[in-house]
Structure 1
C-alpha cells in the first residue's frame, strides 16, 4: 500500500535538496536520511539517491541560460572530466573496507577546516576567477580524481569539496566554480547511476518520487540563484550553513555513542 505522506515528504525534501545542491552542495544530507526514514536500508538508500541526483543535475544544466560565460565555464570543465569520471567509476564499483568512525572523523575534520577558512579568511572564497593561474597542473588533476572517487563512492558533500578545490586550488570564482560543478556533477552521476541501476539496488518508486522534487528544486535554483549578480556572496552564506549541518551529521553519532558508554 502506497503511503502518500512518505511520497509527499520525498518530493518536498527533494526540492530543498535540489535547491541546496545547485547553490552549494550536500543536499544528500537531506535525501539520504529521508530515504532511510521511509524504510530503505543504507545501501538501497545510497543507490536510490542516484535517481534524484541524475534528474537534479539534468534539470540544473538544462535550466542554465546559455550565456557566453556559461559556455566558457563549461569549456573550462573539459580538463577535469576524465579524472572525475574515472574516479567516479572506481568509487562506485569498489567496496572499500574503511571503518565508519574513521571516515566520519576524516570528513568532519575536513569540513571544520573549510568552515574556518570561509569564516575567518573569506577573501580566499570571494575572489574573481584568476586567468593567470595554470589550472591544468597534475596536482589539480589528481585532486579532481580523488574527488571523483569520493563522489562515486559516497556522493554526500561532493559539491562542497568540488567548490573547495575549484576556488582554493584552481582559483575560480565561486560563481564560476558553481557552473562547473553543475556540469561535472551531471557527467559524474551518469556512470554511477547505471552501475547502481544494473545492480538492482534502486527502489524506483521512491527514487522517481524523490527525483520529481530534486529536479524542481534544481531548476528553480539554476534560474534564480546561480547567475544572480550577488551569486558569490549568496553561495558563501549557504555554504556556511550547509557545512555546519554536515559537521553535525558527521560527528553526532560519534558523540551519542561516546556518552552512551
Structure 2
C-alpha cells in the first residue's frame, strides 16, 4: 500500500464502494475491483488475494442487512456456510494444480445464458415457486460446487448462487439474493485463508477498501429490499453480460 499514490488508493476505494453496491444487489462486485487492483499494478495473485480481503466485508455486510430485514435467518444457514467455507478454501488451494483455461472459455457462454434467462423468462419475481430439490441435497451438492469455483476462479459466483436459489430452491428473486450473501461470505473467507499464504494480500489496502465495501453493500441491500426484483433482475443481467464480455476481451 505504501507504494501506491494517494489518487490510486482513492480510486480503489471508490471502486470498492461501487462493487459493494452492485454485489449486494446482484453479485459481480469482483468485476469492478479485480480489474481496478490489477490496473493499480498488483500482480494477478495478489490482486485476487486483496480482493478477497475487502470482498469478505461486503458480503458479510449484505448478509447482515438482509437478515435484519427478516428475509433470511443466518442461523439456519450455518451448515451451508461451513460447506461453502470448505469449498472456497479447497478451490483456492487448487488454483495452481488444476487447469482453468477450459473453464475460462466456457464461462462467458454460461454467464450470457444466465443473463438471457433472467431477462426473458416470464414469472421471475419476488414470489416463491416450486422447490425442485431438498435443502439437504442443495447444501450437499450445489453449494460446495459453487464455493469451490469461487475459490478457484470467482467471476459470476453471485449469479450462479442466485440461479440455484431460484431454479432449485424455488425462492423469489429478493429472497434468493438475501440467501446468497452468507454463502458468498463463507466461500470468500475460505478463499482468503488460502490466498493469505500464497497471494500475500495487501492487508491495509484491503481493509481501506473494505470500509467502502461496507458502505456500498449497505446502500445496495437497502435499495434491493425497497424495490426487489425490479432492480435485481436488470442489474443481474447487466453484470453477467459485462463479466462475460470482459472474459472474452481477456481471451482475445
TM-score (norm: length of structure 1):
0.86
Establish whether residue 221 from structure 1 lines up as the match of residue 220 from structure 2.
Answer: yes
| C-alpha contact (below 8 Å) 1:140/1:170 kept by paired residues | no
| C-alpha contact (below 8 Å) 1:12/1:213 kept by paired residues | yes
1:28 to 24, 27, 30: 30
Deviation string, structure 1 residues 102-151 (Cα, Å, up to 9, x no partner): 2222111111211221222132x326223765532536631221101001
Establish whether residue 243 from structure 1 lines up as the match of residue 243 from structure 2.
Answer: no
| Aligned residue number for residue 259 of structure 1 | none
What is the CA RMSD across the aligned residues, in angstroms?
2.2
Give, in angstroms, the shift of residue 23 of structure 1. Answer: 0.2
| Aligned residue number for residue 128 of structure 2 | 129
Give, in angstroms, the shift of residue 162 of structure 1. Answer: 0.5
Sort the Cα spacing of 1:2 and 1:108 in 2 relative to 1 into closer, same or farther, 3 A.
closer
State how 1:195-214 maps to structure 2 within 5 Å: 195-199=194-198, 201-214=200-213
| Aligned residue number for residue 252 of structure 1 | 249
Deviation string, structure 1 residues 84-119 (Cα, Å, up to 9, x no partner): 22311210111243253x222211111121122122
Sort the Cα spacing of 1:67 and 1:97 in 2 relative to 1 into closer, same or farther, 3 A.
closer
| C-alpha contact (below 8 Å) 1:163/1:178 kept by paired residues | yes
Sort the Cα spacing of 1:33 and 1:23 in 2 relative to 1 into closer, same or farther, 3 A.
same
Sort the Cα spacing of 1:59 and 1:75 in 2 relative to 1 into closer, same or farther, 3 A.
closer
| C-alpha contact (below 8 Å) 2:57/2:210 kept by paired residues | yes
Deviation string, structure 1 residues 213-238 (Cα, Å, up to 9, x no partner): 2121112112x22321x312210010
TM-score (norm: length of structure 2):
0.89
Q: C-alpha separation between the residues in 2 aligned to 1:58 and 1:253?
A: 30
| C-alpha contact (below 8 Å) 2:131/2:168 kept by paired residues | no
2:170 alignment partner, SS class: coil
Q: C-alpha separation between the residues in 2 aligned to 1:131 and 1:168?
A: 9
Sort the Cα spacing of 1:135 and 1:128 in 2 relative to 1 into closer, same or farther, 3 A.
farther
Q: C-alpha separation between the residues in 2 aligned to 1:40 and 1:154?
A: 17
Q: C-alpha separation between the residues in 2 aligned to 1:99 and 1:93?
A: 13
| C-alpha contact (below 8 Å) 1:15/1:218 kept by paired residues | yes
Q: Give unpaired runs (5+ residues) of structure 1.
A: 257-261
| C-alpha contact (below 8 Å) 1:127/1:171 kept by paired residues | no
| Aligned residue number for residue 81 of structure 1 | 81
1:122 alignment partner, SS class: coil
Q: C-alpha separation between the residues in 2 aligned to 1:233 and 1:121?
A: 14
Q: Which has the larger radius of gyration?
A: 1
Return structure 1 stretches of 4+ with deviation > 4 angstroms. Answer: 131-134
Pairs aligned (count): 249
| C-alpha contact (below 8 Å) 1:179/1:226 kept by paired residues | no
Sort the Cα spacing of 1:212 and 1:79 in 2 relative to 1 into closer, same or farther, 3 A.
closer
Q: C-alpha separation between the residues in 2 aligned to 1:134 and 1:21?
A: 26
| Aligned residue number for residue 49 of structure 1 | 51
Give, in angstroms, the shift of residue 182 of structure 1. Answer: 1.4
